[in-house]
Amino acid sequence: MKKILFLLLTLLSVLTVIAQNKGVIHGRCIDLRKQPIQGVNIYSVDSLLLSVSDKNGNFTVNKAKVGDTLCLSHLTYEYTRFVIEKEDFSKKEVPIMMLENAYSLLEVDIIGSAPVLAYRNKVNSLIDYEFNDLGFYMIAYRQDESCSLLHLSMNFDTLSVLPIRRKFQRLYKDVYDQIHLIGPDSTYQIGHRQYRGQYMNMELFYGMRLEEFYAMMGNNVLANDEVFIVADYGDRAQEIYYNYYEIGKPDKGYFLDYVANTGGLDMAENYRKFGGGGDLLFLKVIYDPVFESNDTIFLFNFEADKIIYFNHQAQRIGSGWLTFHRERTWDNKWQMRKDWKRLVLLDKEKAKFYAVFEENGVMVLKKINTNTGKADEVARLNGFTFVFNPQVRDGMLYFLYSKEDNHAKQLYRMKID
């Protein structure tokens, strides 16, 4: 009997060891203050994504065994390795402490009006970014060549990480402030599930072919709770017919305004009459954007050197002159400034417009006075040549930049107000 009991105890011990060596690990990512860290990626040593920590820092790894190494990665915390031990299987929760990157602690404060890193991680290169009221969205490549879609708060706290295919290299914000993931042949809307009012992980919705997406969204230029405005380009993109539709009445459109590049239209007409296409190589799509700020709609008609104002219902209320985009030529004629990048940025929070110039590869930002039509310089990015995707929000200029000795793009910011 004693021998049988000994064998049973031995067998039970072996089964217990086996169960412990191949089981489930419940971990919790915390910082030095023992606060939870959300959005930590947990990988195996062969770069297989095993789990992502939730808002409480909790994560679960299945089919783990003693001696396995968990690799923890987060954009603002140091890369951390954790080796699973036998006793970890019997714990209700395994705390794993992560240290904040030393350089991240310095990036919180804005230093004067010089560009500083807004967000960086040594294992990532940011390909593109966009933001809305829900925070920042970024496409990031890692050193192991994996690709992720990141969602961060406006303070750059990681909220969610979603592995995606490398073919997606661009983000697009539509007129309804929704952000889409754009690939060479398909698109997805970025969304978030909620459970009982609580934020859940980021997901991709409404996948469609790229041409279908542009057919649906490409001509929309502005939308509010009263109207949405569309732009129909004509004659080799040298003219624009702006029309608006009342919300809830999409079947009937109303004329808003007409914009045309007279010189471009003449070149297109000469091409039709006399043939040849050399001059058409110099035709550029005209740039005459529409914005809304403080319930006023602004149409920047750079072809006619005017700014036109409409109320919230798209009814015209006035106009003014624009001059900052013009310069005189050697024969005393006016032409578009060559250093103007044909780009206007709106800071919705501050209700201010900015024009983007470029001098010898250096970006110059000028604030537009909508009353006088002039623009005054507010920022010059000396030392940062050929920046990518400049945007303005709440008195801050954001842009992507790649250093010559490091091709990885990083997000910078600069206080301009």
What is the per-residue pLDDT for 144? 65
Residue 326 — very low, low, confident or very high, per pLDDT cuts 50/70/90?
very high
- Domains recognised in the chain with CATH numbers: 2-100 (2.60.40.1120), 336-417 (no CATH)
Q: Is the pLDDT of residue 277 over 70?
A: no
In the chain, the percentage of residues whose pLDDT exceeds 70 is 85
Q: Write the DSSP symbol of residue 99.
A: P
Residue 330 — very low, low, confident or very high, per pLDDT cuts 50/70/90?
confident
Amino acid identity of residue 128, one-letter, is D
> Tens digit of pLDDT for each residue in 114-142?
788 787 665 578 999 999 999 999 999 87
> Tens digit of pLDDT for each residue in 286-306?
999 999 999 999 999 999 999
Identify the residue with better confidence: 1 or 223: 223
Longest CA–CA span in the chain (Å) reads: 114
Q: What are phi and psi of 143, to 5 degrees?
A: -65, -25
Strands 94-97 and 58-64, bridge-based pairing: unpaired
In the chain, the percentage of residues whose pLDDT exceeds 90 is 52
Rounded Cα–Cα distance for residues 112 and 231 (Å) = 40
Long-range contacts of 271-277 (CB under 8 A, 24+ apart): none
What is the per-residue pLDDT for 406? 58
Lowest mean pLDDT among 90-99, 108-117, 129-138, 389-398: 108-117
Residue 405 — very low, low, confident or very high, per pLDDT cuts 50/70/90?
low
- What is the rounded average pLDDT for all residues in the chain? 85
Average pLDDT over residues 365-377: 95
Average pLDDT over residues 97-109: 57
Q: How many CB atoms lie within 10 A of CB 59?
A: 22
What is the per-residue pLDDT for 284? 84
Region for residue 6 given its phi and psi (left: phi exceeds 0; alpha: psi -120 to 50; beta: otherwise): alpha
DSSP 3-state of 266 = helix
In the chain, the N- to C-terminal Cα span, in Å, equals: 86
What is the per-residue pLDDT for 297? 98
Contact present, 345 and 390 (Cβ < 8 Å): yes
Identify the residue with better confidence: 218 or 394: 394
> Tens digit of pLDDT for each residue in 235-257?
888 999 999 999 988 788 999 99
Average pLDDT over residues 59-74: 88
What is the per-residue pLDDT for 272? 75
Highest mean pLDDT out of 57-61, 140-144, 271-275: 57-61
Residue 387 — very low, low, confident or very high, per pLDDT cuts 50/70/90?
very high
Q: Is the pLDDT of residue 75 over 90?
A: no
**Across the strands, what pairs with 297?**
292, 310
> Tens digit of pLDDT for each residue in 15-54?
444 444 458 999 999 988 888 998 888 888 766 778 888 8
Q: Write the DSSP symbol of residue 144.
A: T
